[in-house]
């Protein structure tokens, strides 16, 4: 089966590797986003997908705007591909492109559709506190993730999972589902299942304002924001910006979901409802870190990244700064 692979970030790499590895697929070309400046040195770097394609000696095309790039469109049409496979490519495909392959364009999307259509499904499903997500393969149409679903793989979400954890696991599920989807689609043994548009929710691009933490929110809302938008959520400490990379919500609602070694933190919590202002350090748990009063409940700071410093444990942060109970974040 002759295919063209469209993808850009690390999330798409396992899927491309799985298709390259199986002899029944001929990856005729790879389409990815143009090289970008990355890292502290701002050096021009290829996308992770391009690196894999180059190592495999595959043709790579990097149009800035694929819908208007005549040369790329001519290349794609000339291949007479059986299918185009799309995993986190980063550009919208035109109807002209969608109708080129014999079997159509197959996309692996990081949610259980029709929930979380759009650019950031993994992040927003965590933000909203979902307890399950997955990968859906689907036939693409002109809408935004509105095409009929082909195969589905699910993954439960634990209380301490973050966006990176989910992305790694969902990328592996995508790599399992795509070969099976293509084989069954080619054999005519798959029945595409239309989505229920009335149940659709959306996962837009993350904006800078989404990273700002408001301590008047509940502990679970803040925790979901921090793990969903990992590792970029921001607060302030002693008038300087600080990122929070990992937190743990504490209280009766969460003990059953936490590993056993967290149970000892119960003794650090106030015995009655605290009248401290949201953002206040109400306790410092030995070998764990500071516990913060929120608008509803308490939040343990497990990993933080102060301005200009490397990420560190909450305990090292508390010790290094001689943190005192009563200090406030935000």
Which residues line the annotated binding site for (6S)-5,6,7,8-tetrahydrofolate?
111-114
Cα distances (angstroms) measured from residue 16 to each of 6, 153, 173, 224, 244: 9, 18, 12, 31, 33
Is the Cβ–Cβ distance between 8 and 33 less than 8 Å? Answer: yes
What is the DSSP-derived secondary structure letter of residue 17?
Answer: H
Q: What are the start-end ranges of the H helices in the chain?
A: 13-21, 48-55, 70-79, 95-98, 121-127, 163-187, 219-228, 314-320
CA atoms lying within 13 Å on the CB side of residue 12: 25
Binding residues: 111-114
Q: How deeply is 73 buried, as exposed, middle or buried, from its count of CB atoms within 10 A (0-12, 13-18, 19+)?
A: middle
Q: Virtual CA dihedral for 215, 216, 218, 224, nearest 10 degrees?
A: -40
Of 59, 65, 6, the C-alpha closest to 31 is 6
Is the Cβ–Cβ distance between 27 and 19 less than 8 Å? Answer: yes
């Amino acid at each position: 089966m002759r295919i063209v692979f469209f993808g850009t970030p690390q999330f798409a790499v396992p899927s491309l590797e799985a298709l390259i590895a199986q002899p029944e697929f001929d990856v005729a070309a790879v389409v990815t986003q143009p090289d970008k400046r990355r890292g502290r040195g701002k050096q021009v770097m290829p996308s992770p997908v391009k690196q894999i394609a180059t190592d495999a000696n595959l043709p790579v095309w990097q149009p800035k705007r694929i819908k208007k790039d005549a040369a790329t469109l001519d290349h794609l049409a000339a291949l007479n591909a059986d299918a185009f496979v799309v995993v986190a490519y980063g550009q919208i495909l035109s109807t002209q492109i969608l109708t080129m392959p014999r079997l159509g364009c197959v996309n692996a999307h990081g949610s259980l559709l029709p929930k979380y259509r759009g650019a950031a499904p993994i992040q927003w499903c965590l933000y909203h506190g979902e307890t399950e997500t997955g990968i859906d393969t689907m036939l693409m149409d002109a809408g935004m993730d509105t095409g009929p679903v082909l195969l589905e793989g699910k993954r439960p979400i634990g209380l301490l999972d973050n966006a990176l954890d989910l992305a790694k696991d969902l990328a592996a599920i995508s790599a399992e589902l795509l070969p099976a989807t293509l084989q069954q689609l080619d054999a005519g043994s798959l029945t595409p299942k239309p989505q229920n548009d009335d149940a659709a929710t959306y996962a837009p691009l993350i904006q800078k304002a989404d990273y700002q933490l408001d301590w008047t929110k509940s502990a679970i809302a803040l925790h979901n924001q921090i793990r969903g938008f990992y590792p970029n959520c921001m607060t302030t400490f002693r008038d300087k910006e600080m990122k929070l990379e990992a937190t743990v919500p504490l209280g009766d609602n969460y003990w059953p979901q936490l590993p056993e070694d967290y149970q000892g933190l119960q003794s650090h919590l106030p015995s009655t409802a605290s009248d401290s202002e949201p953002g206040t350090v109400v306790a410092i748990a030995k070998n764990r870190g500071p516990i913060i009063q929120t608008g509803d409940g308490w939040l343990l700071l497990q990993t933080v990244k102060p301005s200009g410093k490397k990420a560190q444990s909450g305990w090292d942060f508390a010790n290094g700064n001689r943190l005192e109970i009563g200090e406030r974040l935000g």
